[in-house]
Amino acid sequence: MDRKRSAALICAAVLAAALPGPAGTRPAGGPAEVELEGRPLVALTFDDGPREATTGPLLDGLALREVPATFFLVGSRIGGNEDLVRRMAAEGHQIGVHTFDHVALKGLSRRDFDLQVGKTRAVLADLLGEGEFWLRPPYGLIDQAAAGWAGGPLILWSVDPEDWKDHDVDRIVAAVVEHVSDGDIILMHDIFASSEEAALRVVDALLAKGYCFVTVEQLMEQRGAAPEAGARCRAFPPAKDRGGNF
């Protein structure tokens, strides 16, 4: 077993012991002996999917590495991709909403907000059962009214490699690996083949540096941050590094 694979397995085992999660995500064997405390944590997040051609291979790569991620789905893209979404949930990934039609959550009426966020949550609940399905606002934009209606935390990000811009895999990988630190939330998009390739290279590079990948929910839990409705969440550094950014 090589080092990267072994780091991923240790990490997965530690989280399985430390956190609640679907039974399918728990590796066989007894409780982990390695302490999670002190390990740098990072949450990899993907917006704008699902898209079979790219999300499928990404899930394959994450499964191989036993690394969980968080997917913020566009409601209008779920139809026809139900199996992909079920697979995400079954493999221990966190699922959130990114509106139904990928619209900015500014200046909307309550009815239009519900048609974007509530409707997507209803589609996910039909598919997966009841859940909270936290919100990531498209473009990171949200006004006070919409924040008040969000019904959960607003998950933003702290590392943005702008993977949509030039699809240059080397540049995207460097933009993440050179800027990431403990507690960061990385923003990527699972609708591009270049992003899928870059994300898996990022995972390998950060596992080799000792990082442990977690979902956003796991990250908050590990850092003792309560998910408050309407709160903007960008990163969850360890207490000693906290500069008041959450």
CA 244 and chain centroid, separation: 22
Of 7, 47, 49, 84, which one interacts with Zn ion (CB under 5 A)? 47
47 versus 190: smaller Cβ distance to Zn ion = 47
Q: What is the smallest separation between the CB atom of 138 and Zn ion, expressed in angstroms?
A: 5
Among 48, 66, 190, 217, binds Zn ion (CB under 5 A): 48
Taking the least distance from each CB to Zn ion, the nearer of 72 and 236 is 72
* H-only helix segments in the chain: 3-18, 52-65, 82-90, 110-113, 119-128, 144-149, 169-177, 193-208, 216-222
State yes or no: is 102 an active-site residue.
no
Distance CA 98, CA 76 (A): 10
The residue count for binding Zn ion (CB under 5 A) is: 3
Show the binding pattern over residues 106-145: x = contacts Zn ion (CB under 5 A), - = does not: --------------------------------x-------
| Least distance to Zn ion, CB of residue 225, Å | 24
Active site residue 83: no
Shortest-Cβ-distance residue relative to Zn ion: 47
Question: What residues does 114 pair with on adjacent strands?
Answer: none
Write down the H helix ranges in 181-244: 193-208, 216-222
Of 163, 189, 190, 204, which residue is the catalytic one? 189
Q: Tell me the catalytic residues.
A: 47, 189
